[in-house]
Chains A and B, each alone.
Chain A
Amino acid sequence: MKEFQYTITDPVGIHARPAGLLKAEVKKFASSVQVFKGDASCEAAKTLKLMGLGIVKGDTITVRIEGEDEEACAEAIEAFFKANF
């Protein structure tokens, strides 16, 4: 299991379009990616659920990656967050 934390810098947070891109990114890997905001969590590939977490600028989220290709996946997802959120 791999985990990293990230604080959102994008002024509009995780909204529809980047959430969709994130799903596409996650689907490239076999690992499951879970996003935590406080107590609430959901799978990163569940676009609607992810948007439902209401992640906005300044929120610190935890991303947990679990699966056979978690190393590569964690690296790619972290890079993705930095680039998009």
Chain B
Amino acid sequence: MALDYRKCAEEIYSHLGGKDNIASAAHCATRLRLAIVDNSKIDKKALENVEGVKGLFDSNGQLQLIIGTGTVNKVYDEFLAVSGLTAATKDDVKAAAAAAMPWWKRILKTPGDIFVPILPAIVASGLMMGLVEALGKASPAFASTDWYGFLDTVANTAFAFLPVIVAVSAARVFGGNLFLGAVIGLLMIHTNFLNAWNVGNVDAINSFFGVTDGVIPRWHLVGNLLTVQRVGYQGHVIPVMIAVWLMSKLEKWLHKHVPEMIDLFVTPLTTVLVTAFITLTIVGPIFSQLETWVLAGAKLLITVGFGIGSFIMGAIYPATVVMGLHHMYNVIEAGMIAETGKNIWMPIASAANFAQFGACLAVAIKAKSQRTKAVALPSSLSASLGITEPAIFGINFRFMKPFVCGMIGGAFGAWFGAVSKIGATTYGVTGIPGLLAIDNIPIYCIMLLIASGIAFVLTWFVWKEDPDDIPKAAPADAEADAIEAEAVEADVTDTAGIPVIMRAGTSTVLAPVKGRIIARDMIPDESFAAGILGDGVGIEPEEEFVIAPFDGEISSVAESRHAIGIDSPDGMELLIHVGVDTVSMNGEGFTPLIKEGDKVKAGQKILKFSRETIKAAGHPDVVVVLMTNSDDLDDFTVGE
């Protein structure tokens, strides 16, 4: 019996909590996708029981109702009529879902969004820096070699210029111009400014500015009201993000309001100048003032008896790292060594850092997502060597719970270190390399174990992986169950070793056929080569079957069976066209193994073809693989 689309739509609508609760609606080939304002107002049980709804799931703030190919568009049309909503694109629904998040969640999510793309740079550097510096401490002879100098320079580049990398990534996240973002990042660590790590170092200040009083000079831009302390933002993250956010807002506003004729010079100039002025005169001083308070607070805290002060400090230490307020801690350490020869700050920092290692390691082991694992493991190793930025920004802070677990572990570790009265003889090292600087190695080891152990166990039990991050298997299975009629054949090849030919953001496209990959402009067909159907590559096939290049849904199979369209859940629309001019073969030599609307898995065979038949018909057999919406995708690239 055919489904009554109107009735189905009316019933769905009646369980959604009213029109105001629906931010937007769209549909893909099988699903009705709704962005819901308040999930508690909808009746999921009832929705599942609506005739025509084959399944339901909820992800990213989006409610997805599985209705089926050929039916969903009709239900959707009725749904629009019933609800009075206007049609939205899938992107609108995604944006509405993001906007439905509470503001504080969006703010907390931002540093993660900015940090994830730059992780390759800082994970590599963090690990290398930790190893090189540990080796240098272990063997002073090595530390004076040219190789040490070379390796150390390579290793710390990403950290020395971190604000630049953060600024570029932030510009991308906030939609500003990447190059203007880079300028803001570079400005913040300009060589005309004192390196932020030297703020507490009187000799460095005197020699850098040619002064004798150890006071950092200021630029008086508006009398004494707006001044710029001539200090850089090395190691800062948050002020850079704020500056670039400001820049992006400003830039967009100017683009809208400045006449096009003068836009090219007025907008960038104004953007950079105003952003620089506000950042250096307002944002900078706020952070520098906070840093001074944190320093004073920290000095006071660690004098509190029974290790209570250290307990608190161990807990808040990573938070000060996130805020970039940790630059002056070496002032404390240097002072202690000068006064008593014993640095009791280092065990606190070490416990705090090592706890972040423990939390990150728990994520590395527990995570099912290979992507999360791949980041978490090297990040945790680097944290164990005292370089915590990759672990904190890449994993712990992004997922938040591991970060808090780390704070708790750090607190107990620091408390134990303080009551055991251990101390270091030097400063600048924490974690495993700290073994070389500590005065009581067994106690130090116990302290590290306490800190990381508590953090690890807590994270293990408290942190749950976001189902959206768990790759393919789970959700896809649920979906497959829901659409029994569309069950996929299990003819899946192992995807390991199949080269990636395109990327869009974090999504990849595997080569759908084995063979030599040629550039798009080498495809022996004018319009393919010119990119009229989108960007992509050609493949000279060595085998005679096409596999699905990603998990997705077959959106079209040409009447003449030589071309297949496939959509990914995140919006890629790929065309696989076997041979050139093969449309004229009317299907002869092509055997599709799937039909329109089928769900496919990466590696699954979807089409068989005969190279001989194509050759006999007088056509090139190049398999053309094109992303038909490459213009609309973010970060689309062709190549590995």
Contacts and interface: CB of A to CB of B under 8 A. Distances in A.
A and B bound?
yes
B533 A19 contact: yes
Interface residues of B, number: 24
Contact of A17 (B528, B573, B574): B528
A61 interface: no
Interface string B560-579: 10010101000001110100
A81 to B, nearest CB: 17
B596 A16 contact: no
B534 A20 contact: yes
Contacts of B555: 48-49, 52
A47 B575 contact: yes
Given A12-B584, A47-B575, A52-B596, A20 B628 contact: yes
B11 interface: no
A52 B534 CA distance: 17
Contact of A16 (B557, B563, B574): B563
B527 A49 contact: no
B628 A12 contact: no
B558 interface: yes
Given A20-B533, A21-B527, A48 B567 contact: yes
Interface in B584-628: 584, 586, 596, 628
B556 interface: yes
A18 to B, nearest CB: 8
B556 A49 contact: yes
A76 interface: no
| Binding site secondary structure of chain A | helix
B139 to A, nearest CB: 61
Interface string B520-532: 0000010110001
Identify which of A46, A51, A54 gathers the most chain B CB atoms within 10 Å of its CB: A51
A17 B556 contact: no
Contacts, number: 67
A13 B559 CA distance: 9
Contacts of A24: 532
Given A47-B533, A52-B596, A16 B575 contact: yes
Given A21-B527, A51-B556, A52-B555, A15 B563 contact: yes
A38 to B, nearest CB: 12
B583 interface: yes
Interface size range on A against B? 10 to 19
Contacts of B573: 46-48
B560 A12 contact: yes
A24 B565 CA distance: 18
B533 A17 contact: yes
A15 B349 CA distance: 65
Identify which of A13, A49, A52 gathers the most chain B CB atoms within 10 Å of its CB: A52
Given A48-B567, A48-B628, A52-B596, A16 B559 contact: no
Nearest to A51: B556
B583 A12 contact: yes
B527 A51 contact: no
A49 B567 CA distance: 10
Nearest to B584: A12
A52 B575 CA distance: 11
Identify which of A13, A24, A47 gathers the most chain B CB atoms within 10 Å of its CB: A47
Contact of A54 (B559, B583, B586, B628): B559
Interface string A18-34: 01110110000000000
Given A15-B583, A16-B577, A17-B525, A48 B565 contact: yes
A56 B173 CA distance: 44
A17 to B, nearest CB: 5
B556 A52 contact: yes
B539 to A, nearest CB: 16
B537 to A, nearest CB: 15
A21 B558 CA distance: 17
Contact of A51 (B528, B532, B565, B584): B565
The 7 closest A-B pairs by CB, nearest first: A52-B556, A48-B565, A20-B533, A20-B532, A47-B628, A15-B583, A12-B583
Given A12-B584, A20-B532, A54-B558, 17 more contacts: A13-B559, A15-B583, A16-B533, A16-B575, A16-B577, A17-B525, A17-B532, A17-B583, A20-B533, A24-B532, A47-B573, A48-B555, A49-B555, A51-B565, A51-B575, A52-B565, A54-B559
30 contacts: A12-B560, A12-B584, A13-B559, A15-B560, A15-B563, A15-B583, A16-B563, A16-B583, A17-B527, A17-B532, A17-B533, A19-B533, A23-B532, A23-B533, A23-B628, A46-B573, A47-B565, A47-B575, A48-B556, A48-B565, A48-B574, A48-B628, A49-B555, A49-B565, A51-B563, A51-B565, A52-B555, A52-B556, A52-B565, A52-B596
